[in-house]
A and B are shown apart, each in its own frame.
Chain A
Amino acid sequence: MPSEIEAPPIDVAEFFERLGFADESVLTEVIEQVLETSADRIAQMRSALSAGEASQLAFATHTLKGSAGFASAGRLRQLCETIESDVHLAGQRDLASHLQAIDLELGRIEHWLTVRVAGSSATEHV
């Protein structure tokens, strides 16, 4: 969990703009779904990476990227795109580190959601 102040993991304004209306419960629901489904995705990605199955890795990442896009999770989407597009370009070591970064970003999203739902005045709040 990063201790410094950084840009929030979810661009709430963009999310509501995409959705067409501002509804905190929808936001929470969607982000929770992202977090729920991502566990499976991360497991699939790890498995594909260790087996050297580039296409499977790309597919799993693609799915997570789709969720991240709709959820306005910019950083998460960016990390997924990096893996997806660089599967054949980057070395395995880079992919592993990107996967780790995705894991960390999901943790950051979870923390952000917790703080937001709890109405906390944590520094990450927009």
Chain B
Amino acid sequence: VRPLLGARVVLCVLGGALVLYGLQGVLRLPVPDLVGVLWWGALGVVLHDFVWAPVVLALARASERLGAWTRPLQVGALLAVPALLATLPTVLGRPHVTPEPGLLPQSYLLGVLVVVGVGVAAAALTRVLDARRGAQARASSPSRSTNASEPQA
């Protein structure tokens, strides 16, 4: 428990330092636009809390009902979906009417495959770890019914 507490303190200090760094950056802009920054931040909170979070929670509830076989899917989706959501909207939906120098300079299919591949690899790893943990549990306590499993993910 101790190292965990230490890690939390370090994370909190780091997070606080990043917030302060951001604030001083905003305040030191040559032309501070605090109202604009506040709007931007508020919109982010609204979108996150009232649109994105409910969707994720509904999916989590659905996975919980479907059973443990969804765990690898959860891990894969947690990795790949945010990465694709954060990047693909600026790549897709481009009007490719006029060629633009410097626009879309790389192979995006490859990029998507790499990101999806990371998700699939993480899902496979989860599947293997879950199976191994299940086997260990069965071997070590064949008769007892213990449910306090804490996967290390």
A and B from one assembly?
A: no
